[in-house]
Amino acid sequence: LRRVRVHHLRQAKERGERITMLTAYDAPTARIFDEAGTDVLLVGDSVADNFLGHATTLPVTVDDMIRHTRAVTSAVRRSLVVADLPFGSYEASPAHAHATAVRMMKEGGAHAVKFEGGRRVAEHVHLVVSSGIPVMGHLGFTPQSENVLGGKRVQGRGDEAAERLSEDALALQEAGAFAVVLEMVPAPLAERITEVLSVPTIGIGAGPACDGQVLVWSDMAGLTDWSPRFAKRYAEIGATLGAAARAYNDEVRSGAFPTDTHSFAE
């Protein structure tokens, strides 16, 4: 079983093989997704709004991200583990990004980091990559900037915005990013960027032409009632879990559980 490494993703693009990526935030789900053959596991700052009860990704801390990254890397044998740098932990300067990225690698055990932005973080990407830490870029709708972007909105619509997004993607590639996430970008624009870049694009709400796809696992598996339009629900585990809890509650109340098989003899 060979570990997925960043050069394998580039090779996959060259061969026309699609890259699969899911988020993971803890050891048991990371083990399941790793054993299922998922190429990349992203310890996303989406843990904030999907699992920690925050309304947005903004409140999650570097220490939170390190704890979740450690849990994921402890369980993984094949997948490449990418850790998000959270809001406020990298933007100020290349040195700021480098310091946080080093913590994700040393304390979290990550194999790579991801952070949001285009040209404004190109120098950050360059320094982090030169220091031996692979960087994945993230463009389009970037949740950490939702207050500037005016909410969860498709990005890159119109010629000017499309041009800016393409230039950002090229700048990330030139700075040394090994892949670029495109989030909520019109499918034809994502297709054009995918053709222009030699590094893989990973889409989320960016159409079918990207070199890979990523989803937040709870959206993919139907953990909660609502999933975004761009996510497909491959299971209804929220309903399955609710049914299990109801059956357990019923059996405890009726005395049907536990029986002798769940008890210890003297």
How many residues at the interface with ligand KIV, by CB under 6 A? 12
Of 6-14, 40-48, 121-129, 218-226, the segment contacting Na ion by CB under 5 A is 40-48
CA–CA gap between residue 66 and residue 69 (Å, rounded): 5
Which residues of the chain form beta strands (DSSP E)?
Answer: 19-23, 40-43, 80-84, 112-116, 135-140, 179-183, 201-204, 212-215
The structure tokens listed for 207 are 């159409």
81 or 216, CB closer to ligand KIV? Answer: 216
From 14, 183, 195, 266, active-site residue: 183
Of residues 231-250, which lie at the interface with ligand KIV (CB under 6 A)?
A: none
Residue 183 appears among annotated catalytic residues? yes
Distance of CA 227 to the CA centre of its chain: 16
Q: Is the peptide bond before 258 cis (omega within 30 degrees of 0)?
A: yes
Of residues 56-95, which lie at the interface with Na ion (CB under 5 A)?
A: 84
Of 41-49, 160-168, 237-245, 250-258, the segment contacting ligand KIV by CB under 6 A is 41-49
* Binding status of residue 128 toward ligand KIV by CB under 6 A: no
Of residues 69-108, which lie at the interface with ligand KIV (CB under 6 A)?
A: 84
DSSP code per residue over 246-258: HHHHHHHHHT-SS
Backbone angles phi, psi at 204, to 5 degrees: -145, 110
Say how many residues make up the chain: 266
Q: Which of 44, 186, 200, 212 binds ligand KIV (CB under 6 A)?
A: 44
Of 39-47, 102-110, 157-165, 168-176, the segment contacting ligand KIV by CB under 6 A is 39-47
Residue nearest to ligand KIV (CB): 44
Minimum CB–partner distance for residue 44 and ligand KIV (Å): 2
CA–CA gap between residue 31 and residue 109 (Å, rounded): 15
> Running DSSP on this structure, what letter comes out for residue 207?
-
CA–CA gap between residue 32 and residue 36 (Å, rounded): 6
103 binds, among ligand KIV, Na ion, none (CB under 5 to 8 A by kind): none
19 or 202, CB closer to Na ion? Answer: 202
Q: Which of 105, 110, 182, 216 binds ligand KIV (CB under 6 A)?
A: 216
Q: Which of 44, 108, 117, 205 binds Na ion (CB under 5 A)?
A: 44
CA–CA gap between residue 184 and residue 103 (Å, rounded): 29
Minimum CB–partner distance for residue 133 and ligand KIV (Å): 17
CA–CA gap between residue 165 and residue 109 (Å, rounded): 31
**Closest C-alpha among 212, 214, 217, 177 to residue 33:** 217
Minimum CB–partner distance for residue 105 and Na ion (Å): 18
| Residues with catalytic function | 183
**Interaction site with ligand KIV (CB under 6 A):** 23, 42, 44-46, 84, 138, 181, 183, 204, 214, 216
